[in-house]
Amino acid sequence: MRIDVLTLFPEAFRGPLDVSIVKRAREDGLLDLHIHDIREHATDRHRTVDDYPFGGGQGMVMRVDVLDRALEHVRAQAPERGLVVYLTPAGERLNDRIVRELAAEPRLILVCGRYEGVDERFVEHCVDREISIGDYVLTGGELPAMVLIDAVTRHIPGALGDAASPEEESFADGLLEHPQYTRPAEYRGWKVPEVLLSGHHAKIAAWRREQRLARTRERRPDLLEGAEGERAPGPGSGA
Ligand code: SAM
């Protein structure tokens, strides 16, 4: 899968995507990640990428012409057209279903806003999908883009290695995951639930299913109600 990112701060992407699973996916050629500097497509002496909002108001707005040139330039670098995603608080709120849909695309082009955001004409004519990572406002789209890249990478076949699967994580069956424990079995008198030490696989599976359901009911009842378009727990999920 190829992901292109358009940003005013390419340096922000150094570090978080150079460790662990995402790093390995890049090294193994599963994720082909390219970071592009929008400012390279400004044409004036000062390399201006923003301007005052028409109609007045606070802050600056990213210019449609600069963004369009940057997108055309990036698009021409690979044969796939690419699904253009603008990270914005005004977008659909990111969830497991959307991550899976995006992970099925051969190419994503992520656009990171800054200032008050981008000129709406760019969204209207060039953007395929607007995505928010939650109901709060960040200073830029770089962190949301990294969140999306990380989440999507986990769904690229082979990225988690042979032993792991995204199907065993929270949300995969519509429920939150059960609690996890490791050694020592007792620490400061804090004990691991007895059933996990029993070696009885059927009982362990039943206990985990109960825990998943109880947690979901208590913390995220909206998931059980199928709210926000989440997938309802499927057969075998215990719901
Ligand atoms: N004026 C915008 C508003 O009120 O909706 C906020 C602009 S924000 C300061 C600058 C940029 O950060 C946005 O263009 C967007 O790319 C990114 N951003 C901020 N919060 C975000 C969120 N919750 N999800 C996705 N992107 C976000």
Q: Which two tokens stand for residue 52?
A: 């005052």
Residue nearest to ligand 1 atom 12, measured at CA = 140
Strand partners, 145: none
Residue owning the nearest CA to atom 1 of ligand 1 = 116
pLDDT score at 165? 84
Going from the C-alpha of 106 to that of each of 103, 151, 235, the distances in angstroms are 8, 15, 30
Report the distance separating Cα 23 and Cα 25, nearest Å.
5
Task: Quick: pLDDT tens for 141-163.
Answer: 999 999 999 999 999 999 998 76
Listed in sequence order, the residues at least 6 apart from 55 whose beta carbon sits closer than 8 Å to its beta carbon are: none
Per residue in 118-127, pLDDT tens? 999 999 999 9
How far apart (Å, rounded) are the C-alpha atoms in residues 112 and 13? 12
* ipTM of the prediction greater than 0.95, yes or no: yes
Q: Which amino acid is at 156?
A: I
Question: Is there an atom of ligand 1 within 6 Å of 67 CB?
Answer: no
pLDDT at 212 over 90: yes
Tell me the average pLDDT of the chain.
94
Q: Tokens 């499927």 appear where?
A: 234
Residue 115 has pLDDT above 90, yes or no: yes
Does pTM surpass 0.80?
Answer: yes
Domains and CATH numbers, the chain: 2-153 (3.40.1280.10), 170-229 (1.10.1270.20)
